[in-house]
Copies of this chain bind each other. A is one copy, B any other.
Amino acid sequence: MTFSVEFIAVGTELLLGQIVNTNASWIGSRLADAGLGHYRQTVIGDNFARLVDEIRAAAARSDAVILSGGLGPTQDDITREAMAAAADVELVRDDEYVSRLRAYWESRGRQMPESNLKQADHPVGSLLLDNPKGTAPGLRLDAHGAVLFAVPGVPAELYPMFDNQVLPALRELAGGLDGVMVSRVLRSWGESESRIGEMFDDIFHESTNPTVAFLASSGEIKVRLTAWAKTNEEAEALIAPLEATVRERLGPRIFGADEDTIEQVIYHLLRAKGWSLGTAESATGGMIAARLTSVPGCSDTFRGSVIAYQQDIKEGLLGVDPVTIAEHGVVSEAVAMEMAAGAAKTLGVDVAVSVTGSAGPDPQDKPAGTMVIGVHTPTGTSARMLKFPGDRERVRTYTTTAALHHLRLALQGEAQPQRWL
């Protein structure tokens, strides 16, 4: 039987929707990578009785239970207390941790708020997990046949504690595990999810190991192949022929695999050609540049951008001809091409991507959602007008993704795919 791990996020702010549960997706991906079974995630508010009940139910269902959040110094942090109650033990204060807390605050030249001492409390029988990134230690505690882990809710503290202390412990506990799960994600852009579902209907029905799943995200569609086997090598051998089929059918729509991002793919294409990059953005307001500069080391290829929200900046800094704007409108292929070519000159770059458009809610000279992407490379300049549904942020996000893929296809010398959404 697969060792199963359940995740409980603690916090009324999650139920009230004041923050997004990114810890759940992060922990889910880590458990999948480790080949551990993970079939359920729950969110419970800062309510003592409900949390105690849920910890007990989870401990009865699963081999291990991970709790995140509620370890902080404020009064609504109740995870320590609830864990102790669920395991029917008392809380004690750890004097050594008190000293370390005081030293931590002193080293930062600040006085420790006394409320932080609460973070040195822990259920009798529990192990403290070191927190090099913050003041709240994690906890490990046996309870009713399961092992409970509590980790901080702040991602910067949770991530290293989980990877360095919780995950190795889970793998050890799951020692009897007789197989590994390997996933390969193929990332595509240019076809709808339902069309891709149809293109792979045969594989979906015929293949049980690997399984096939489809997943849409901001215009990109991922095809995920997941195999179980005794070893990584065997799992990868099961995946290989299906991966070849998916790659053959989707052709240049596939831009990467697994953790590849379109930003990284562009970075490597530019490095291979020795070309530098810049952007000229209107409606996207810097979103394309922000994504391109998310890649560590991107200063090898990225030089800069002009964000030209107003027409006179398009003319003055990007050299767009006022006559072009008068004849074609500011949201036009002609203007997008002049912006891209002008950015190449102003910024001294080989390659430039541009956007002009109407993100909404108010229309420009074209209806809201009309966006034009231009690309300039040493081999030519092109532009494409697209229509995006949805609100301002959706239009801006999908346009940014489309602009990155337009750029990628130009760098790869590929014809544009037929559909652009």
Contact surface of A with B, Cβ cutoff 8 Å: 12-22, 24-30, 32, 38-47, 50, 54, 72-76, 113-116, 133, 135, 154, 156, 183, 185, 193-195, 197-198, 201, 204-205, 213-217, 222, 224, 279, 281, 283-290, 292-294, 296-299, 302-310, 312-313, 317, 346-348, 360-362, 389-390, 392-394, 396
Q: Is the CB of B18 within 8 A of A21?
A: no
Q: Complex formed: what's the CA distance from A116 to B309 in Å? A: 41
Residues of B within 8 A of A43 (CB): 24, 40-42
Nearest to A181 among chain B residues (CB) is B16
Leading 9 A-B pairs by shortest Cβ distance: A286-B286, A285-B293, A17-B29, A17-B28, A286-B289, A74-B197, A305-B307, A17-B25, A41-B43
How far, in Å, is A309 (CB) from chain B's closest CB?
5
Q: A348's contact among B197, B213, B312, by CB below 8 Å, is which? A: B312
How far, in Å, is A62 (CB) from chain B's closest CB?
13
Q: Complex formed: what's the CA distance from A279 to B285 in Å? A: 11
Q: Is the CB of A204 within 8 A of B75?
A: yes
Q: Is the CB of A73 within 8 A of B115?
A: no
Would you list 30 pairs from A and B whose C-beta atoms are within 8 A, ordered by A residue? A12-B213, A15-B32, A15-B38, A15-B40, A15-B41, A17-B24, A17-B30, A18-B29, A18-B224, A72-B194, A74-B204, A75-B205, A113-B197, A115-B194, A133-B389, A135-B194, A154-B216, A156-B390, A285-B286, A285-B289, A285-B302, A286-B287, A286-B288, A286-B293, A294-B393, A297-B362, A299-B309, A303-B309, A303-B313, A312-B348
Q: Is the CB of A293 within 8 A of B309?
A: yes
Residues of B within 8 A of A308 (CB): 304
Nearest to A47 among chain B residues (CB) is B39
Q: A305's contact among B12, B46, B217, B305, by CB below 8 Å, is which? A: B305
Q: Is the CB of B45 within 8 A of A16?
A: no
Q: Is the CB of B32 within 8 A of A16?
A: yes
Nearest to A185 among chain B residues (CB) is B18
Instruction: Evaluate whether A74 and B194 lie within 8 angstroms (CB atoms) in the complex, with A20-B20, A20-B21, A312-B348 already known.
Output: yes
Residues of B within 8 A of A305 (CB): 285-286, 305-307
How far, in Å, is A200 (CB) from chain B's closest CB?
9
Q: Is the CB of B304 within 8 A of A313?
A: yes
How far, in Å, is A400 (CB) from chain B's closest CB?
9
Q: A286-B289, A296-B392, A304-B317 are in contact. List 12 more A-B contacts (CB 8 A).
A: A18-B25, A19-B217, A39-B45, A40-B43, A40-B54, A113-B197, A114-B198, A115-B201, A279-B286, A283-B293, A285-B289, A293-B309
Q: Is the CB of B18 within 8 A of A20?
A: no
Instruction: Evaluate whether A296 and B362 lie within 8 angstroms (CB atoms) in the complex, with A40-B44, A317-B346 already known.
Output: yes
